[in-house]
Amino acid sequence: MKKNLDQWLAFLESNHPTEIDMGLERVQTVAQRLDLLKPAPLTLLVAGTNGKGSTVTMSSSILNAAGLNVGSYMSPHLHVYNERVRINGQPVSDELIVESFEVIDEARADISLTYFEVGTLSALYIFKKCQVDAAVLEIGLGGRLDAVNIVDPTGAAVTSIGLDHQDWLGSDINNIAFEKAGVYRPNQPAICGQRDVPSRLIEHAESIGAHLLLKGRDFDFKRLAASWSWHGKGQNGEVIELNDLSLPTLPLENAATALQLLIQVCPQLTTAQINQGFERAHLDGRLQVFEQPYKGIMDVGHNPQAAALLNDSLAMEPIKGKRFGLLAMLKDKDAKAVAQCMSVIDEWHVAGLAGYRGQSASELEHKIMDAVPVSSKHDTVASGLESLREVVGPDDQVVLFGSFITVANGQDWLSAQENNKN
């Protein structure tokens, strides 16, 4: 009997002995059998500790505004698996994903693949079947040995380099930079959105003859009151300046990186197309604003670098009242370092997360209590958001953050409030 999507996902979660199995040989063999190494004429890779999803989303939106059919692949998802694989911003159907899983399962024969490896092949299969003009692909973990890195890209970007996934990538920032630089290719645009770049990234890019462009050296941006400006390098090394750009809802640091990558691979882009792409770009859970039942913002930021970026974004938007932080994080993340980055929070609250990687509010409080004072603890994100109704005023703002699961729980709570109203 044929499996539906939920049954396939359950099968894939248990089919390989380990959740993560670094290395490209197995997945590359299957990709070659299915001719998936070049999923689209224009194929872009986006790696980095933070900002990958925003960069993929804005790049895809701009390319779509320029008239291209664009496939984008990101992970993890917030609510349904289909969110990972999109064409022109819309999640693909269950039927298309199931078809891809069936084809991959037959092609792999006796080769065992992880959940993520099958998911990557699935995205490549769908993009090739749908004949997209461009595929913008997020690297899941690291770069050099990530399954997505099997493709033959037109260009690549590393958005940022920080400490995360240390169990797999180590705690040496230079080694992490080397792993991420593994997405670069000889004679291809190689963008880096990190300002203080670890030396090994530069050394690797230069050693393979990649066309390396660094933020702060080769391209940069400036935020203005109601717009922003950008300057960078064209395909032939010429200086390009763009002014009066539309402010996206996603971080400008990532917008600037996306723009440098696109200018390198699509020099025919117009300012109107770029602005339209930025205006349309939206990604749930990244600086996501909500207005009811009180004012708030939610963000998936779960490491110090992401927290610092969130803090900077909030600092640029002062409010009259207080900012209430509601933090819920997985137990394998550095909660204390995250809390220390969030200087804009006036009052701290914590919530627990379920699951094998989750932790209770008490465990989380213990980890951050030396950094920030905790006003209240809650078993769940929903109960934390509900309790804040009692204290949040019209000039205040709630900041919910800490993980993808945190934001998904927050979105579920907001949906319940809306349903109760109706």
What's the pLDDT score for residue 170? Answer: 53
Which helix (H) or strand (E) segment holds residue 119: the answer is helix 115-129
Q: Which amino acid is at 80?
A: V
In DSSP notation, 246-289 reads PPPSS-HHHHHHHHHHHHHH-TT--HHHHHHHHHH---TTSSEE
- Rounded percentage of the chain residues whose pLDDT exceeds 70: 96
Convert the pLDDT of each residue in 353-369 to its tens digit: 998 899 999 999 999 99
What's the pLDDT score for residue 171? Answer: 65
Dihedrals phi, psi of 322, to nearest 5 degrees: -100, 155
pLDDT band (50, 70, 90) for residue 420: confident
CA distance 369 to 374: 7
Q: Of residues 99 and 421, which shows the higher confidence score?
A: 99
What's the pLDDT score for residue 162? Answer: 79
CATH number (3.40.50.2000, 3.90.190.20, 3.30.70.360, 3.30.200.20) of 288-421 reads 3.90.190.20
pLDDT exceeds cutoff 80 at 234: yes
Q: Is 40 helix (H, G, I), strand (E, B) or coil?
A: coil
pLDDT band (50, 70, 90) for residue 421: confident
What's the pLDDT score for residue 221? Answer: 98
- Rounded percentage of the chain residues whose pLDDT exceeds 90: 86
Identify the bridge partners of residue 299 per DSSP, sorted by sequence position.
401
CA distance 222 to 422: 43
pLDDT exceeds cutoff 60 at 282: yes
Region 123-152: mean pLDDT is 94
**Relative orientation angle of helices 115-129 and 94-108, to the nearest 10 degrees:** 110
What's the pLDDT score for residue 143? Answer: 83
**Strand pairing category for 228-233 and 397-401:** unpaired
CA distance 391 to 108: 56
DSSP 215: B
- Give residue limits of the domains in the chain: 5-280, 288-421
Domain 5-280 and domain 288-421 have a common topology = no
What's the pLDDT score for residue 173? Answer: 86
CA 204 vs CA 183, 185, 323: distances in Å: 11, 10, 43
**CATH number attached to the domain at 5-280:** 3.40.1190.10
- Cβ neighbors of 358 (< 8 A, separation 6 or more) are 330, 331, 352, 405
Convert the pLDDT of each residue in 250-273 to its tens digit: 999 999 999 999 999 999 999 999
What's the pLDDT score for residue 225? Answer: 86
* 213 CB-contact burial (10 Å; exposed 0-12 / middle 13-18 / buried 19+): buried
What's the pLDDT score for residue 418? Answer: 82
pLDDT exceeds cutoff 60 at 128: yes
What's the pLDDT score for residue 140? Answer: 85
Lowest average pLDDT, out of 112-121, 161-170, 223-232, 278-287, goes to 161-170
What's the pLDDT score for residue 88? Answer: 98
* 334 CB-contact burial (10 Å; exposed 0-12 / middle 13-18 / buried 19+): middle
Global pTM value:
0.91
The upper half-sphere exposure of residue 152, i.e. CA atoms within 13 Å in the direction of its Cβ, equals 9
Convert the pLDDT of each residue in 373-406 to its tens digit: 999 999 999 999 999 999 999 999 999 999 999 9
3-state helix, strand, coil in the chain (%, to 5): 40, 20, 40
pLDDT exceeds cutoff 70 at 20: no
Convert the pLDDT of each residue in 283-311 to its tens digit: 999 899 999 999 999 999 989 989 998 99
Mark out the alpha helices in 140-267 (DSSP H runs).
Answer: 166-169, 173-181, 199-208, 252-265
Convert the pLDDT of each residue in 319-351 to its tens digit: 999 999 999 999 999 999 999 999 999 999 999
Which helix (H) or strand (E) segment holds residue 399: the answer is strand 397-401
